[in-house]
Amino acid sequence: MVLSEGIRRHGFRKWYERELLSSHGHLALSFVCAVALLGAFEAASEFADWPDRLLDAVSIVVSGAIGAWAIRRYLYLLMHAEHAANQADCPQCGVYARFTLVEGRSGRAGDTAVVRCRECAHQWSIEA
Ligand SMILES: [Zn+2]
């Protein structure tokens, strides 16, 4: 989810929690794909006829492709959430993640959220 939209809908802490849950869901998917890949490699020696071998080869390719996509998505979502969380400290008073969204911009360069601290009313931008 886009940072500014996530802050607007759920608040920063919930957005961050959801990003971490989503990223770790992708990590679990990549683990399942690794198990399926190992099973398909082990089954490759058992098959003698071509249709079964072809099906096994397709399952190896599909498991590998989904697993590679899932691990990339896991790393992207994790780094995206951590990058935003590292900017969630108020530069003036140092309080963490206690702000309200002033303005959100999304574009090709990324997502920017202009936020205001609830403690000292300082404004800064978080880029994701
Ligand atoms: Zn502050």
**DSSP-derived secondary structure for 41-76:** HHHHTT--SHHHHHHHHHHHHHHHHHHHHHHHHHHH
One-letter amino acid for residue 67 of the chain:
G
pTM above 0.75, yes or no: yes
- How far apart CA 90 and CA 9 sit, in angstroms, is 21
Q: 78: CA distance to ligand 1 center in Å? A: 26
Structure tokens at 123: 């404004």
Mean per-residue pLDDT of the chain? 94
Q: What is the mean pLDDT of residues 53-67?
A: 96
Q: 94: CA distance to ligand 1 center in Å? A: 6
Q: Check residue 107 and give its pLDDT.
A: 77
Residue-wise pLDDT for 110-128, tens only, equals: 789 999 999 999 999 999 8
Domain ranges of the chain: 3-127
